[in-house]
């Protein structure tokens, strides 16, 4: 599917109609282009067996991660079920199985060390909102000054993942840091964390790099990303006794099933759970 075909254009239009982000549109069109080039045919002339063969090619020969392979599967499913309207089902597009790994979570002590090693006020404030309010990296960098409601102690997350708005808490600690940052930086324009480019926000990769640098300086050896701060936010809330449905709303999860994975992440929750052996009356061994 070349860059000028009507099929490519129709697929892009279908994705725009459904509110797909520009990043997702780029990923999906890239995967379908690679699929077409592999067989030297238009995807309209290919079938489910071709999808299966290309998935195996990506997994076995190209040795791509299951996540990358599943991106192709999602793109192919959209193309055939939505754009081409083929009489197939979701089950006709099996996904590569991903190994079940628990994401890293920072302890409270590691959180303190982490923020002590973020020298920039701008980056520290943005990263603190990722931990203190559970924001995604994209949500943090796109925050606008008008989104901060210091009177009600709320942050308005506008058009987060899935094009959904939500409110999250603004606790005193990040608010104090935001005020210090504001007095020092005096950011102009709409964005709370502007880029050096006019009318643009801080880039996500810049925040990711600041996160990695802070981890190295703090001597944290866990595999940490900005998203780790969001995981830690949810896990620490759970450990403090917060209701799972409240955590669901704060994180912006559509399904409670997505939020329940934090039950499996929290080692403190596991440690606090009593074994049935504690209630059993077992005679002491005779000496």
pLDDT at 243: 85
Instruction: Answer yes or no: is pLDDT of 149 > 80.
Output: yes
Reduce the DSSP state of residue 2 to 3 states and report it.
coil
Residue 281 has pLDDT above 70, yes or no: no
User: How large is the average pLDDT for residues 108-129?
Assistant: 94
How high is the pLDDT of residue 82? 96
Query: What number is the average pLDDT over the span 161-169?
Result: 83
Lowest mean pLDDT: which of 14-23, 52-61, 278-287? 278-287
Place of tokens 């990358």: 68
| Distances 43 to 6, 36, 87, 247 between C-alpha atoms, Å | 12, 6, 15, 42
The alpha carbons of the chain give a radius of gyration, in whole angstroms, of 23
Which residue carries 């943090």 as its tokens?
A: 140
Query: By the 8 A CB rule, do 139 and 251 touch?
Result: no
Query: Does the domain made of 6-92 have the CATH classification 3.60.15.10?
Result: no
For residue 26, the number of C-alpha atoms closer than 13 Å in the C-beta half-sphere is: 3
- Looking at the chain, the whole-number percentage of residues with pLDDT higher than 70 is 88
Taking residues 255-282, what's their average pLDDT? 64
pLDDT above 60 for 2: no
Facing residues of 164 across strands?
A: 160
In terms of pLDDT, which residue wins out, 133 or 4?
A: 133
The answer, yes or no, to whether residue 4 has pLDDT greater than 80, is no
pLDDT for the residue 198: 81
- Edge-first strand order for the sheet with 154-160 is 148-149, 154-160, 164-169
CATH superfamily for domain 108-271: Intergrase catalytic core (1.10.443.10)
* Whole-angstrom distance, CA of residue 279 vs CA of residue 154: 44
Q: How confident is the model at residue 143 (pLDDT cuts 50, 70, 90)?
A: very high
CATH 1.10.443.10 segments of the chain: 108-271
Predicted pLDDT at 8? 95
Cα(73)–Cα(50) distance, integer angstroms: 12
Is residue 96's pLDDT more than 70? yes
The kind and range of the H/E element at 165 are: strand 164-169
Delimit the CATH 1.10.150.130 region(s) of the chain.
6-92
Mean pLDDT, rounded, of the chain? 88
Catalytic residues: 136, 161, 227, 230, 253, 262
Pick from 130, 137, 133, 123: which is nearest to 204 by CA?
137
How many C-beta neighbours within 10 Å does residue 207 have? Answer: 21
Is it the case that residue 7 has pLDDT exceeding 70? Answer: yes
Tell me the whole-structure pTM to 2 decimals.
0.67
**How far apart are alpha carbons 151 and 280 in whole angstroms?**
53
Determine the Cα–Cα distance for residues 130 and 124; give it in Å rounded to an integer.
10
Tell me whether residue 250 is exposed, middle or buried, using C-beta atoms within 10 angstroms of its C-beta: 0 to 12, 13 to 18, 19 or more: buried
**152-161 average pLDDT score:** 86
Q: Is residue 117 scored above 70 in pLDDT?
A: yes
What is the residue whose two structure tokens read 């890293």?
104
Task: Give the integer Cα–Cα distance in Å for 188 and 194.
Answer: 8
Question: Which of the two residues, 135 and 278, has the higher pLDDT score?
Answer: 135
């Amino acid at each position: 599917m070349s860059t000028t075909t009507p099929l490519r254009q129709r697929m892009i239009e279908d994705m725009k109609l459904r509110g797909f982000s520009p990043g997702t549109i780029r990923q999906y069109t890239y995967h379908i282009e690679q699929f077409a080039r592999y067989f030297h045919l238009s995807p309209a002339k290919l079938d489910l067996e071709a999808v299966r063969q290309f998935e195996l090619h990506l997994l076995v020969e190209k040795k791509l991660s299951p996540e990358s392979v599943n991106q192709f599967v999602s793109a192919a499913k959209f193309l055939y079920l939505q754009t081409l309207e083929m009489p197939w089902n979701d089950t006709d597009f099996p996904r590569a199985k991903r190994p079940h790994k628990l994401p890293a979570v920072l302890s409270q002590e590691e959180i303190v060390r982490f923020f002590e090693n973020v020298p920039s006020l701008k980056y520290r404030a943005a990263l603190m909102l990722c931990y203190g309010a559970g924001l995604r990296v994209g949500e943090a960098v796109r925050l606008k000054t008008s989104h901060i409601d210091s009177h009600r102690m709320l942050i308005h997350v506008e058009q987060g993942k899935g094009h959904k708005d939500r409110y999250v808490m603004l606790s005193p600690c990040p608010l104090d840091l935001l005020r210090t940052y504001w007095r020092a930086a005096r950011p102009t324009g709409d964005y709370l964390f502007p880029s050096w480019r006019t009318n643009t926000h801080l880039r996500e990769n810049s925040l990711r790099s600041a996160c990695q640098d802070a981890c190295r300086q703090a001597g944290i050896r866990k595999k940490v990303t900005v998203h780790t701060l969001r995981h830690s936010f949810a896990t620490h809330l759970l450990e403090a006794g917060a209701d799972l449905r409240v955590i669901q709303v704060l994180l912006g999860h559509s399904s409670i099933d997505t939020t329940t994975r934090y039950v499996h992440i929290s080692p403190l929750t596991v440690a606090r759970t009593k074994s049935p052996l504690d209630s059993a009356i077992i005679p002491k061994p005779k000496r």
